[in-house]
Structure 1
């Protein structure tokens, strides 16, 4: 059994609580990034499996969550700033590059990290959330599923979510979470500043104009991820449609895109399909396929990983 420890890292002017497990070597780091409304606890099953397999696992409470600071200014939650914070965290731990795994807002951050700081991302695993270029020009049906993202940006969102014993929050979260899980979220978000911090992720990164945009992002060197990428989507996800993940292939360098669809699994893949995800992560980490350099053709068609 590999135990983990938590340390506080000063990064980007705030304190970030970081769980680490395993021993760091030159190229064995895995960075796990959670989203709304989770904490590093989302990855408990993955931390154990990856550390046991010899990887150095780095799991921060993202800004605004868990034991990390909850700055009041919205700009602290912009993906650009959060990526800078995460680079500071890696520097403090002596990690030059890592396989980055993200879920929900953690996946959006992982995409941004690979685009803005490609030297820090050796491999990329994105759960549920596709490339931002796909999201920006998503079809109307997908944008309709994202109504809550715009709602969370409104000034009165906190009051609406917590009214009548958190009734609206329970309604939104109850589709994919047990009552116990929802209550744990409520307990965490009831801490001073926690709910506003969580919503500030949406306020900092969600723009209403994207919901009516029809002009797609250009596929170019600036938007294309050059490292190996594994996209994982689950058929039980009620907020994110499959197309926004599969169409991400166009934004990944030729030969680098892998795609896996999990049947009968809800949005919270790390928790609800822990064993399946662990097997996928270990297979992808060990795959070691060379990535074709950007600019040598379009992205490969989505395909499954080899049978485990």
Structure 2
């Protein structure tokens, strides 16, 4: 984590909410939510997580496992003097928030996750399972089985990769052979519509041109390690939870979500994967209305 936090008393001290970005994102992905949450009285904490932006990027792959990534969030709470907070996660950020609720439940007051629902652990380590189901070219598997290959291609083509990835309303096309993220990094044509403005996209491009992609991809390289680390914990998330899906997201909804998250409310928005970017006002309204109901009970 970047240790250069302000020493000033933060605005809205005492009502913390931590926003956790996904891959390949940045704290900047929450730019539409921060003003609305601050205006509602929340002390908003928005880190660039380990491996991103100016935060630390250790060389050791295991430094990006679930214990380290959730430990960073606990350290943020300790820094600001909070016992617990509400946490919001998107994509990989959601995975870390789910993990935090399992590993350190006393530090999580409420949680709101976007795109990625709770992942049932199952009997087979995740990469092995995904390889059996989706094959060796599936990008989770490729990142693990061919370390460094995708990293180099994405680093060389950061502008094109991010420009081709951050799209919405992408028409259905038959899958191409090869690994999808490498294909995006090499594709000369982008489909669908841009998710964000050129100005906003430039923030992401600049950040990844500086940091490279390896630190962020190392999150994927700990999926099997995380499977083992979570083997002995209580798998039930008991905190009040809001799950926000994008109806056109490629990530499927989890039919058994309430079995593992009994205090969950579910909302679906008419958008794809980049929920808070595609539907910022609707996302804000959904989050603030849910938080207000929770605070009223």
Q: Common fold, TM-score beyond 0.5?
A: yes
Alpha-carbon offset, residue 81 of structure 1: 1.2
The answer to whether the 8 A contact 2:53-2:208 is kept is no
Change (3 A) 1:206 1:39: farther
Q: Counterpart in 2 of 1:5?
A: none
The answer to whether the 8 A contact 2:158-2:209 is kept is no
Alpha-carbon offset, residue 169 of structure 1: 2.9
Alpha-carbon offset, residue 133 of structure 1: 1.1
Q: Counterpart in 2 of 1:190?
A: 209
Q: Counterpart in 2 of 1:237?
A: 249
Aligned with residue 258 of structure 1, among 247, 253, 265: 265
Q: Counterpart in 2 of 1:148?
A: 139
Alpha-carbon offset, residue 122 of structure 1: 0.7
Q: Structure 1: how far apart are the matches of 2:257 and 2:24?
A: 24
Q: Structure 2: how far apart are the matches of 1:152 and 1:98?
A: 33
Aligned CA RMSD, in angstroms, stands at: 3.5
Which structure has the higher relative contact order (CA within 8 Å, separation 6+)?
Answer: 2
Change (3 A) 1:106 1:77: same
Q: Counterpart in 2 of 1:225?
A: 237
C-alpha deviations, 1:112-169, integer Å up to 9, x for none?
A: 11111111111111100111216888998xx649922222332111123345x45983
- Stretches of structure 2 lacking an aligned partner (at least 5 in a row): 169-193
TM-score normalised per structure 2: 0.76
Q: Would you say 1:247 and 2:266 are equivalent positions? A: no
Q: Structure 2: how far apart are the matches of 1:224 and 1:257?
A: 11
Q: Structure 2: how far apart are the matches of 1:88 and 1:170?
A: 30
- Stretches of structure 1 lacking an aligned partner (at least 5 in a row): 1-13, 211-216, 292-308
TM-score normalised per structure 1: 0.73
Q: Counterpart in 1 of 2:77?
A: 90
Q: Counterpart in 1 of 2:26?
A: 39
3-state SS in 2 of match to 1:101:
strand
Change (3 A) 1:109 1:151: same
